[in-house]
Amino acid sequence: MQIRAGYKITFDCMSPMPIMLKLSVHPDRRHDLVTPDTITTSVSAPIHQHQDEFGNLLTRVHAPGGPITFSADFIINDTGLADRQKPTARQIPVEDLPSEALPFLLGSRYCETDQLSDLAWSLFGGAPEGWSRVQAIVDYVHDRITFGYHHARGTRTALEGHRERVGVCRDFAHLAVALCRAMNIPARYCTGYLGDIGVPPVDAPMDFSAWFEAYLGGRWYTFDARHNTPRIGRILMARGRDATDVAMATSFGPCTLSRFTVITQEIAAGAADGSPDP
């Protein structure tokens, strides 16, 4: 299947400033691109790209003062398969983990493993190790937090999400990641596109989504504590320890977000495109 995706995001900059973006399709999925996901700007601005320490594509822009709109509109191939499931995937002892998985056992800005460790062991210490333990964590977080866009707060941590019991997809992911790490299961935060493909559409503006990956049986598997069901059509943009590492935009000066539009739509067989420009 093919998916059309893209965005238009406008910032009002009070003065010229550098901006770092993590909006490009992740290198792991770039071979699936049918058309390029080129980032364009509404005004002339120097753009440079390189990979960050987590393997994500980082775009550096020197924005002039005033409004600047970043946009992309692309088509990508997808298997059309739901997230891979392997209930027999085992938990690997810490001493046998590969070195690249070890950073995802540690606490981070939004995932306070030290403060959640006692809770995690009291809740999940009796659960079978491996896939079943991660799924028990996902079930708990899914039931613990009530989703709502009006609950969004950019500074909410995993511990605060657990206490407040409300949040958006990033809060579900942060709490699940923190609980997995507290149980010695490497877990990393992911962000990208997730449209209403294969599920009833929701009456809400499209947004980027957050989920997580857990390291089991020698590979990373996708889990989604907000939806708690395998989904079709995820398009990964970035991975990291938490939302800090995958921020959509980081500005080095005062600016405000004035427009944010995202599209993710399956292209019908034989159709030239999915919808009008975002």
Supply the DSSP symbol for 81.
Answer: P
> 133-142, 195-204, 226-235: lowest mean pLDDT where?
195-204
Residue range 206-252, pLDDT digits in tens: 889 999 999 999 999 999 999 999 999 999 999 999 999 999 999 99
Percent of the chain with pLDDT over 70: 97
pLDDT in tens, 63-109: 999 999 999 999 999 999 999 999 999 999 999 999 999 999 999 99
Given a cut of 50, is residue 278 above it in pLDDT? no
Instruction: Report the pLDDT averaged over residues 189-217.
Output: 92
| DSSP code per residue over 89-157 | PPPPPGGGS-GGGGGGGS-BTTB-HHHHHHHHHHHHTTSPSTHHHHHHHHHHHHHHPEE-GGG--TT--
Predicted local confidence at residue 202, as pLDDT: 81
Average pLDDT over residues 32-54: 96
pLDDT greater than 70 at residue 27: yes
Give the class (CATH, top level) of 94-232. Answer: alpha beta
Tokens standing for residue 6: 């893209």
In whole numbers, what is the pLDDT of the chain averaged over residues? Answer: 95
Predicted confidence at residue 204, as pLDDT, reads: 77
Q: Which residues does 21 contact at the CB level (< 8 Å), separation at least 6?
A: 39, 58, 59, 60, 61, 70, 248, 249
Q: Where are the beta strands (DSSP E) in the chain?
A: 2-13, 17-21, 40-41, 47-51, 57-63, 66-77, 146-147, 166-167, 187-193, 209-216, 219-223, 235-240, 249-251, 255-266
- Residue 276: which pLDDT band, with cuts at 50, 70 and 90? very low
pLDDT at 277: 45
In this prediction the pTM is 0.94
Q: What share of the chain in percent tops pLDDT 90?
A: 93
- pLDDT over 80 at 270, yes or no: no
The answer to whether 162 and 144 have CB atoms below 8 angstroms apart is yes
Residue 203: count other Cβ atoms within 10 Å of its Cβ: 4
Q: What is the CATH number of domain 2-80+248-266?
A: 2.60.40.2250
Per-domain boundaries in the chain: 2-80+248-266, 94-232
Q: Can you read off the two tokens belonging to residue 101?
A: 């998985």
Average pLDDT over residues 105-119: 97
pLDDT band at 200 (very low <50, low <70, confident <90, very high): confident
